[in-house]
Structure 1
Amino acid sequence: MNNQFPIIETERLILREVTKADAEDMLLYLSEPEVVKHMGLEPFQSIEDAYDEITWYESIVKNGTGIRWGITLKEDNRVIGSCGFLNRVSKHYRSEVGFELSKEYWGKGVAREALEAVVKYGFQQLELERIEALIEPANLPSQRLVEKRGFQREGLLRHYEYTCGKFDDLYMYSLLKEDLQD
């Protein structure tokens, strides 16, 4: 990837690089317990937590292990969520996709629109062959979202992560580039 952060435009959204100027907006939704409960994070308490998240976004781009876009509505430059790739393994043409959205925008098709655009970018621009989604069994809305998008549940990864003082089981979902031709 070149030094220019890619901007993705959809019908209603602009997916763009997140900067320190977006920290207040991020703190707003990442401090919501319902937003972060399936992310393996404690609700954000301070602007420093948001700065740390932005620093992580910058580091995965720099290290080539991912890219995370801030989700904004075209009529409002405010960041209302994020979507992107993490744990990218270029050698194997695969990456994990992740997303979260401000509770205010749940059920409005925003996450679907962002996910579709990011998946398309992954297959076309990053030349991925496989995109994975790891989702907690209790996170039914995210499971429904990826299933509607064509992801297939491959199995349960038992005690796969240790977050917030507990072991988490995660469903492994995948979408292959060839799945889109169907």
Structure 2
Amino acid sequence: MKEFPIIETKRLCLREVDFEDAKDMLTYLSDQDVVKPMGLEPFETTSDVCKEIRWYKSIYEKGTGIRWGITLKDSGIVIGSCGFLNRLAKHYRAEVGYELSKDHWRKGIVSEALEAVVKYGYNHLQLERIEALIEPSNIPSIKLVEKQGFSREGLLRHYEFTCGKFEDLYMYSMIKEDLKTGLGKDKYEL
């Protein structure tokens, strides 16, 4: 199997998570405010987190996604994750997702990680289209993707059944051409 790629930005190191990271990851995955937009119930144990880590590993092995742990360069502790899921290589598209420990909200960390991951997707995975599915009530996430250059395409009504109810989701996307002409052109150099 190919070596898991590491992405470095000014402040961050995006790397593969391992089972030794489970305790740190439980800190944010047990927080209702962090996991609700992901359509998950708060995790209760490190065993729950290990299942999530196994999922990260499985999507990478199958080629259907890749999820990086977000760490600050000065600590190395996993404080969130960002990456692709539902990748369809034959259609050159994937969905991007992210979450971050509440202690690190509003510091530009997810923006920095997302920008690096999007660049990786276009440059190394040959993606043409990157999607983001966001609950209409998740205003911070909506502002984030719009600032990054994603465009809202519409509302997917009752798109997911999570936490015992149907959820509407906004569909956002960015295509490679947007990087030359749209909001993302100042952020992304391919």
Q: Matched residues in 1 for 2:147 and 2:63: separation?
A: 29
Separation (CA, whole Å) in 2 of partners of 1:10 and 1:46: 31
* One-letter amino acid of the counterpart of residue 48, structure 2: D
> Distance in 1 between the 2:155 and 2:82 partners?
23
Per the alignment, residue 176 of structure 1 pairs with 175
For residue 35 of structure 1, what is the aligned residue in structure 2? 34
1:75 aligned to 2:74? yes
Q: Secondary structure at the match of 1:77?
A: coil
State the distance in 2 between where 1:64 and 1:111 align. 23
**What SS does structure 2 have at the residue aligned with 1:45?**
coil
**Helix, strand or coil at the partner of 1:54:** helix
Q: For structure 2, list consecutive stretches of 5 or more residues without a partner in the other structure.
A: 182-190
Cα deviation for residue 89 of structure 1 reads 0.3
Q: String of CA shifts for 1:91-110, please: whole Å, max 9, x gaps.
A: 00000000000000000000
Say which SS state the counterpart of residue 37 (structure 1) adopts.
helix
Distance 2:58 2:158 in 1: 26
Unaligned ranges ≥5, structure 1: none
TM-score with structure 2 length normalisation?
0.94
- 1:77 & 1:175 partners in 2: Cα distance? 30
| Aligned-pair Cα RMSD in Å | 0.6
SS for the counterpart of 2:81 is strand
1:107 corresponds to 2:106: yes
Q: State the percentage of identical aligned residues.
A: 69
Runs of 4+ in 1 over 3 A off after TM superposition: none
* Aligned residues between the structures: 181
The CA distance in 1 between the partners of 2:177 and 2:12, in whole Å, is 26
Q: Which residue of 2 aligns with 1:88?
A: 87
